[in-house]
Chains A and B, each alone.
Chain A
Amino acid sequence: MSTSAAATLEWLLRPAAREPGIDRKALAGLLVEIARNVGPEVCAEPTGVAPVDPRLEQLRTLLLGREIEILSRLTGVVDDPEQLSAAVAQVLPSALAQAQNDARLGPVLAPTLEKATQSSIRSDPRTLVNILYPLIVPAIRKSIGEAIDQTFQSLNETLKHSLSWRGLRWRWEAWRTGTPFAEVVLRHTLVYQVEHAFLIHHHTGLLIAHVAAPDAASQDPQLVSSMLTAIQDFVRDSFSGDAQQGLDALRLGELRLWSERGPFATLVVVIRGNPPEGLHETLGAVLSRIHEERHQALEAFDGDSSGFADIEAHLAECAALRQQAPRRRGFPWIVLLVALALFAAAGFGAYRWGEHRHLRAIEQGQWADYITRLQTQPGIVITEEGRRDDKFLVAGLRDPLAVDPRQVLRETGIDPARVVSRWVPYQALEPQFVLERLKASLDPPASVTLAVAGSEIVAEGSAPSRWIDRARTAMRMLPAGGPMLDLSRVRNSDEAKLAALREATRSLREAIQAEEIHFNSNEPLPAPGQDAVLDRIAGELKQLASLSSTLHAVPRVSVTGHSDDTGQGTFNLSLSVARAGAVLALLKKRGVDPDLLSVRGAGPLEPLQPGDTEAARSANRRVSFAVGIEDQP
């Protein structure tokens, strides 16, 4: 056919041959022949015919002029390949569309399409992969999954029974019936029974219908169906799953929960035993039948489950599914509940894992907060921080007087056990730290306050000179470049005290120098009634000694004995010495340090009152005191 089509095209495209003109002789013969057919008497011979007659050409143009014109236009199109392609392109789609029903079209196009596809793949295979990916991958996945499940199921059972007594029996059966051994094994081992079928409304989780196998125990199916929905929601939420996906299967021991999801309702069956994978298909078919028949009622379901008797009939079909007569037991609801609980716990675990990542992000935030807070703390310099595995690490310098990083850590809420800290101690030069240090080393008296003023530390108040001296020393020891200590506002409290002490000493000294002890004539011991005077003087001396020691001085008291002018001079001199000695002894007896005292006899040479009256003589018989203060050696 293609050859003849090519020939036609060849003929069509053949350049128009030069017209040789009409064979007039043959034409004449033909006309005579026709005439003879009409009238046999015609016997003219086509002789003497001129070979060329322009009138014939004229006749042809007259008769066929329009056709010749159309033909020449057509030939023009056919002669020009571009025009021809344009013309064919116009009709090609509709031609193909019309030819679709022609069985020959496929085989004709196939080789061309194959070649085109091959060349497309050769130039860039991704194009085709991209086109096919969304179509075939899910199908492949599902099909492979089911095939693998089936294979495993078959393999498992085959292996399990290949060498047992039962296995040998089944081998015999396989050999006898001519079926594959694996098939026989499956037929005998896949013993199951569907015990419950629930149809659950997606949107509300409410039960639309429920059917149980005749002797399966029944718990409240309404509660079970809602809880199943809740668990599905939980799993979906926790794993951010697609809203259209859900749990396919739950399994505990020989009890399985299979779930098939439709557009409005989910079919959940509880199966005891070992169901074949092909049962999924059966259940899926029941579910789609239910949706086909009661599409609108399911969509509009609002909790009223009356009027779903037909659906119950379908579910009863599911609940009747079984292979062999299984051993019947009460439906172990406890087991189902435990399965649900376990599944929930597993879901929860996974959810916790997701949460863990979330927590990690929270922790990261807390850590950043902790580091920022530390960085703003004076006396803390962070040199390194970060996360190592499950621990946080921070290292740097810390003034021992700075805030305790553990305290800051507690406030951020990070578990301290997860934080490794390495702090090297250093001295910060911030004024508040220098201040703290000075306070600790100088131990300022209550009358002095130390405070930070700008970049300096200022001491104010009054202090003893010893403290001021110490503070000056500390001031000189402060590191250069750091804050300085200003002591100019500290008054020396010792100076005022010294002045007061000196004044007290002076008045005491005067008081003592004004004292006198009186004697009777010729007596070396004080006259009666002088004890009180002695007591007073002893007190004053002791006070003077104590005051002087505060001033780092020592009083020197000269005790001078005197006599009147009666009697002999040598006697009077020794009497005056004796009187002074007696007073010294008496004062010593009253607790006065004798080292402070010295005795001297003046005889009658230093009278208090000159004259020879008895009153004058009596006044002159005395012991007097002179007080000098010496600096302590």
Chain B
Amino acid sequence: MIPTQQKKVCVLGSFSVGKTSLVRRYVESIFSDTYLTTVGVKIDKKMVDLADRAVNLILWDVAGEDDMASLRLSYLRGTAGYLLVADGTRPATLDVALTLRKRVEADYGPLPFALLVNKHDLTEQWAIRDADLEGLRQEGWWVRPTSARTGEGVEDAFKDLAVRVAR
């Protein structure tokens, strides 16, 4: 099925939470990662098959920076939804994700988003409590443990978001 529907989706998160790895392995890409360090964003595409049609998610992988003042929020203009990525072995990255979500909401209003807690394959170093994630789910967040290495949860996460942004 050739998709005629496109949706812009931004991928946000701290530095080295595995955003780019998530994107690199599961999407189509023609641009090199150097765009991230120069322009601060790299565009990739993910085709998602929904029940009745296919949607192309145009993924804006926005350079991860812990110093949030330097995040270019203007790249989020016109986004239909966004993926927040945190690193399950570093609880601080979850805090960054929470802050990012607040900033995005402040500038662009409520948009569909999903939280991917990455590196779920590193069970021994996992440092985020299930209760915290459960708390976020109670608040209506879409939270999904993922692993860029094993692929766990990645396709589902893209699909979740595609369903909601293409509604």
CB distance from A232 to the nearest CB of B (A): 10
B30–A303 touching, CB < 8 Å: no
User: Of the candidates A230, A304, A305, A345, which one forms a contact with B43 in the assembled complex, judged by CB atoms under 8 Å apart?
Assistant: A230
A205–B78 touching, CB < 8 Å: yes
Q: Determine whether B58 belongs to the interface, using a CB cutoff of 8 Å to chain A.
A: yes
What is the CA–CA distance of A219 and B60 in the complex, to the nearest angstrom? 18
Task: Find chain A residues with CB under 8 A from B39 CB.
Answer: 230-231, 234, 344, 347-348
Supply 22 A–B pairs (Cβ within 8 Å), ascending by A: A204-B77, A204-B78, A204-B80, A205-B8, A205-B58, A206-B6, A207-B6, A219-B30, A222-B58, A223-B28, A223-B30, A223-B43, A226-B8, A230-B43, A230-B60, A237-B72, A237-B74, A303-B6, A305-B5, A306-B4, A341-B34, A347-B39
B31, B38, B41: most-surrounded residue (chain A CB, <10 A): B38
**Chain B residue with minimal CB distance to A303?**
B6
A341–B58 touching, CB < 8 Å: no
User: Of the candidates A233, A304, A333, which one forms a contact with B5 in the assembled complex, judged by CB atoms under 8 Å apart?
Assistant: A304
Give the number of A-B contacts (CB < 8 Å). 86
User: Of the candidates B28, B38, B43, B72, which one forms a contact with A226 in the assembled complex, judged by CB atoms under 8 Å apart?
Assistant: B43
For chain A, what secondary structure do more than half of its interface residues adopt (helix, strand, loop), or is it mixed? helix
**Chain B residue with minimal CB distance to A346?**
B38
CB distance from B76 to the nearest CB of A (A): 10
User: Of the candidates B8, B35, B44, which one forms a contact with A344 in the assembled complex, judged by CB atoms under 8 Å apart?
Assistant: B35
Query: How extensive is the interface on chain A, given as a class?
Result: 20 to 34
What is the CA–CA distance of A146 and B58 in the complex, to the nearest angstrom? 37
A233–B74 touching, CB < 8 Å: yes
Q: Determine whether B16 belongs to the interface, using a CB cutoff of 8 Å to chain A.
A: no
Task: Find chain A residues with CB under 8 A from B28 CB.
Answer: 220, 223
Task: Find chain B residues with CB under 8 A from A222 CB.
Answer: 6, 45, 56, 58
Chain A residues within CB distance 8 Å of chain B: 201, 203-207, 219-220, 222-224, 226-227, 230-231, 233-234, 236-237, 302-306, 333, 337, 341, 344-345, 347-348
B35–A227 touching, CB < 8 Å: yes
CB distance from B60 to the nearest CB of A (A): 7
Q: Determine whether B141 belongs to the interface, using a CB cutoff of 8 Å to chain A.
A: no
A204, A222, A226, A306: most-surrounded residue (chain B CB, <10 A): A226
B5–A223 touching, CB < 8 Å: no
Task: Find chain B residues with CB under 8 A from A303 CB.
Answer: 5-8, 80
A223–B38 touching, CB < 8 Å: no
What is the CA–CA distance of A347 and B35 in the complex, to the nearest angstrom? 12
Q: Determine whether B40 belongs to the interface, using a CB cutoff of 8 Å to chain A.
A: yes
A230–B6 touching, CB < 8 Å: no
CB distance from B123 to the nearest CB of A (A): 35
What is the CA–CA distance of A203 and B40 in the complex, to the nearest angstrom? 19
User: Of the candidates B41, B58, B78, which one forms a contact with A223 in the assembled complex, judged by CB atoms under 8 Å apart?
Assistant: B58
What is the CA–CA distance of A345 and B39 in the complex, to the nearest angstrom? 8
A-B pairs with lowest CB-CB distance, top 10:
A204-B78, A203-B78, A306-B4, A226-B43, A303-B6, A344-B39, A348-B38, A344-B38, A227-B43, A230-B41
User: Of the candidates A201, A233, A344, which one forms a contact with B75 in the assembled complex, judged by CB atoms under 8 Å apart?
Assistant: A233
CB distance from B111 to the nearest CB of A (A): 12
A230–B80 touching, CB < 8 Å: no
What is the CA–CA distance of A224 and B29 in the complex, to the nearest angstrom? 10
What is the CA–CA distance of A219 and B75 in the complex, to the nearest angstrom? 23
Task: Find chain B residues with CB under 8 A from A306 CB.
Answer: 4
Task: Find chain A residues with CB under 8 A from B45 CB.
Answer: 220, 222-223
CB distance from B22 to the nearest CB of A (A): 17
What is the CA–CA distance of A226 and B35 in the complex, to the nearest angstrom? 13
B75–A226 touching, CB < 8 Å: no
Task: Find chain A residues with CB under 8 A from B35 CB.
Answer: 227, 341, 344
What is the CA–CA distance of A333 and B38 in the complex, to the nearest angstrom? 20
**Chain B residue with minimal CB distance to A201?**
B78
**Chain B residue with minimal CB distance to A333?**
B30
- Give chain B interface residues in 36-94, CB to chain A under 8 Å: 38-41, 43-45, 56, 58, 60, 72, 74-75, 77-80
Task: Find chain A residues with CB under 8 A from B43 CB.
Answer: 223, 226-227, 230
What is the CA–CA distance of A304 and B58 in the complex, to the nearest angstrom? 13
**Chain B residue with minimal CB distance to A237?**
B74
What is the CA–CA distance of A306 and B38 in the complex, to the nearest angstrom? 34
A234–B77 touching, CB < 8 Å: no
Q: Taking A205-B8, A341-B35 as contacts, is the C-beta distance between A220 and B30 under 8 angstroms? A: yes
Task: Find chain B residues with CB under 8 A from A237 CB.
Answer: 72, 74
Task: Find chain A residues with CB under 8 A from B77 CB.
Answer: 203-204, 233
B6, B40, B78, B80: most-surrounded residue (chain A CB, <10 A): B6
**Chain A residue with minimal CB distance to B32?**
A341
What is the CA–CA distance of A348 and B63 in the complex, to the nearest angstrom? 14
Query: Given A230-B39, A236-B74, 7 more contacts at CB 8 Å?
Result: A206-B8, A223-B29, A223-B31, A224-B30, A234-B72, A341-B38, A344-B38
Task: Find chain B residues with CB under 8 A from A203 CB.
Answer: 77-78
What is the CA–CA distance of A220 and B47 in the complex, to the nearest angstrom? 13
CB distance from B79 to the nearest CB of A (A): 7
What is the CA–CA distance of A341 and B34 in the complex, to the nearest angstrom? 8
Task: Find chain A residues with CB under 8 A from B5 CB.
Answer: 303-305
Task: Find chain A residues with CB under 8 A from B78 CB.
Answer: 201, 203-206
Task: Find chain A residues with CB under 8 A from B58 CB.
Answer: 205-206, 222-223, 226
A304–B74 touching, CB < 8 Å: no
B4, B75, B78, B80: most-surrounded residue (chain A CB, <10 A): B78
What is the CA–CA distance of A318 and B155 in the complex, to the nearest angstrom? 39
What is the CA–CA distance of A206 and B58 in the complex, to the nearest angstrom? 8
Task: Find chain B residues with CB under 8 A from A226 CB.
Answer: 8, 43, 58, 60
CB distance from B57 to the nearest CB of A (A): 10
CB distance from B81 to the nearest CB of A (A): 11
CB distance from A142 to the nearest CB of B (A): 27
CB distance from B86 to the nearest CB of A (A): 24
What is the CA–CA distance of A210 and B7 in the complex, to the nearest angstrom? 17
